[in-house]
Amino acid sequence: MKYIENNKKIYAIACGMVASGYDLYTSMVGDIYNFAQDVATLSLDAHVREWFQKTKTGQVNVNPYWPRGHAVISAVFFVNESGFDIDSFMKFFDESGITDPISKEDFLDWIAELPSMLAYMEEKAAGLWDRYCKLVEWLTDGYEPIINEACKIAKDFFGKDTKELLFAPNPLYSLYATDFVRIGNKIIVIGLSCDVESMLHESLHVEVAKYRDKISAFTIEHWHGNFADTAKMIDLGYINHQAITHVDDYKPAYARVIEECFVRGISTVLAGGGVRRLSVHANNGFGSVPAIGFFFEKLRPKAHDLGEFITHVLREFI
């Protein structure tokens, strides 16, 4: 089975980003860095450059390109010969629990231009495509056994509802940037590096999101800020502090934080991560992850038991 999909649309968008000033690739060395430097010299029309520069909202300290720089990568999977299925993309975007830091209306006006930007960049960056393919081939050598392992674990956890897991390389983005998109029965993980935990993490977002109402109701009723470090969540972009004027405004955003904690705790244990790996998440601000991992290890629920498991853990935090 082929697990890796080298997507030309991802390439086109990533080239447009880099040629318009995206520089989070600078932590890379060697061939990736050198290739990105060459992409950065591409001369773009003023409107195209301006469009790509709007991915940098500057609202998140850790990643100024969140969320637009990542949403646009997912959006390319909704563009085909028939056009841009923007309604399906926005459904996916909304279900992901992400809000644009400027406004939904501005985001819609901006993302609607995606097809024309793709067409422009596919032509503009065509001369570098073969070199990019060789870079991807080198980068992903050895990834298939990792994805195969993730698929086996996912099949055991999800059972008959298991989705097909694929990996789409995006070597021009930051090492720490991993995205996903769900298309039909496929979950496509998009990133530079590939590991079992990241593959499971992204697939779990779809499953845990089914219980968002449960988590939101808990947050509204109990408002426990001890699931995660609020200041770090603001820095990481999970909470848009500029849209918050009262403590109650934190509650919907904090529900997304709790959801992320569940995804991190479960994916870590499923991938075989121990206390040390759980502690890494806690040190990054997701303080409840070790406790969630502990309960998951103890109870070992499957996907069909996840609602009961989430309820159990939430009650432990009351």
- Residue 297: how many CB atoms within 10 A of its CB? 16
Q: Are strands 186-191 and 178-183 parallel, antiparallel or unpaired?
A: antiparallel
Worst-scoring range by mean pLDDT, 65-69, 149-153, 243-247? Answer: 243-247
Residues sharing a CB contact under 8 Å with residue 255, sequence separation 6 or more, in sequence order: 97, 212, 215, 216, 218, 219
Q: What percent of the chain has pLDDT over 70?
A: 95
pLDDT digits (tens, 9 = 90+) for 21-64: 998 887 777 899 999 999 999 999 999 999 999 999 887 778 89
Taking the C-alpha atoms of residue 138 and residue 145, their distance in angstroms, rounded to an integer, is 15
Q: What is the reported pLDDT for 282?
A: 97
pLDDT digits (tens, 9 = 90+) for 108-161: 999 999 999 999 999 999 999 999 999 999 999 999 999 999 999 999 999 988
